[in-house]
């Protein structure tokens, strides 16, 4: 007997294309549940995406990217998405190498994963 219902066990903060239903369907096979939150101490920028598969999925050649500043005045708006551990690995496959997944604490106090600029220290 197999149980196909898997409870989300991870939180992923998305400030970009992972909020798009088309990207969620392509990456996870479903629309994700989530709610608004903020990522303090980070600044938002843009990254040119060169991976044709990622551009095809998102429909965008430039994706948002965040870098840590440590400045409390810097804050990035986004969504906290509830996902499974397996879906977190799927998200890793979607993101290009310019991003790295870090553990962050959101304005709400929620500990979540976020994809940040891998080129920054």
Q: What is the pLDDT of residue 34?
A: 94
Is the model's pLDDT at 121 over the cut of 80? no
pLDDT band for position 6 (50/70/90)? Answer: low
**What is the pTM (predicted TM-score) of this model?**
0.85
The domains located in the chain, with CATH, are: 10-117 (3.10.490.10)
Is the pLDDT confidence value at 2 over 60? no
- State the average pLDDT over residues 65-81: 96
Q: What is the mean pLDDT of residues 2-6?
A: 54
Write down how long the chain is.
121
For the ranges 50-54, 98-102, 106-110, 112-116, the lowest mean pLDDT is seen at: 50-54
Give pLDDT tens digits for 15-53.
Answer: 999 999 999 999 999 999 999 999 999 999 998 988 898
């Amino acid at each position: 007997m197999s149980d196909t219902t898997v409870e989300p066990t991870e939180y992923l903060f998305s400030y970009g294309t992972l909020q798009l239903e088309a990207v969620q369907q392509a990456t996870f096979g479903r629309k994700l549940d989530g709610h608004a939150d903020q990522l303090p101490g980070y600044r938002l920028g843009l990254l040119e995406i060169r991976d044709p598969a990622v551009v095809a999925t998102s429909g965008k050649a430039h994706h948002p990217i965040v870098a840590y500043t440590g400045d409390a005045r810097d804050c990035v708006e986004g969504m906290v998405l509830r996902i499974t551990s397996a879906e977190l690995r799927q998200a890793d496959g979607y993101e290009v190498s310019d991003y790295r997944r870090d553990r962050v604490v959101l304005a709400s106090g929620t500990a979540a994963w976020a994809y940040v600029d891998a080129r920054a220290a």
